[in-house]
Amino acid sequence: MSKPLIAVSTDVKSFENYEWHAAPEQYLRAAIRTAGVTPLLVPSFEDELDLETLLAGVDGVMLTGSKSNVWPELYGEVAVEENGPYDRRRDGTTIPLIRAAIRRGVPLLAICRGIQELNVALGGTLATEIQNLPGRMDHRAPENVSQDERFAIRQDVRIRPGSCLAGIFKSESVRVNTIHRQGIDRLGEGLDIEAEAPDGTVEAVSVRGTNAYAVGVQWHPEYWAETDPASRQIFESFGDAVRTHHAARHARGNAA
């Protein structure tokens, strides 16, 4: 069986007098080497894209992390410069892509910014600068360090019993590399909490009532997917779901 394709979100970046639609290599490497799938970058052209045709030809969707934050007006807040940067073209592509993937039952893995997009797509809200909220930890990355130190695995998260992640990890807690300054506030409709930080910050969710794999994590399993067991398990479970969808889709095509 050929390796299935997954659609991967892209950021819009200005560089060398061009507008680039790009994704970080770590996510693509983890998709290829650990999930065992072939990533296909989806340009952030918003409603110019035919998402139904796209989703009919892929077997999974992966939403990457990014320095940018979701545009606050999408969840009823006012955008201010200090809570940026923003990437409205990405928002205009990923939000409808998420909804369409869930509707079609296409496996979905949403990472970092991706879990926030997932929450907003389903009507939830986000809290900005959560390190300033009473009782919250500082989840931001340390400053002036190497990338390996920035993405070091340093925080425990509690896994909800009976959740999708409990089935993947076979554990009540797992140590992860979560680095963020924005997080889920009001949970989106149809989402269940999968994991929380010690301060109650939501660190993972799943979509309720779907037969497909649909998981969002606030941490970065892509960075250590080849060496850290918990990170690898996230991508392996996503890859298994993608291959199951791929096999079912081709079986339906052969039967038609």
Tokens of 227: 């060496």
The half-sphere exposure of 208 on its side-chain side, counting CA atoms within 13 A, is 11
Active-site residue, from 139, 164, 222, 246: 222
Residue 222 falls in the annotated catalytic set: yes
Residue 164 falls in the annotated catalytic set: no
**Nearest to 122, CA basis, from 107, 154, 100:** 100
Residue 220 falls in the annotated catalytic set: yes
Strand ranges (E), 169-238: 173-176, 182-184, 191-196, 202-207, 214-217
- Please give the single-letter amino acid code of residue 54: L
Active-site residue, from 139, 220, 245, 246: 220
Active-site residue, from 112, 117, 180, 245: 112
Return the SS3 of 66.
Answer: coil
Q: How far apart are CA 5 and CA 66, in angstroms?
A: 22
* Residues assigned a catalytic role: 112, 220, 222
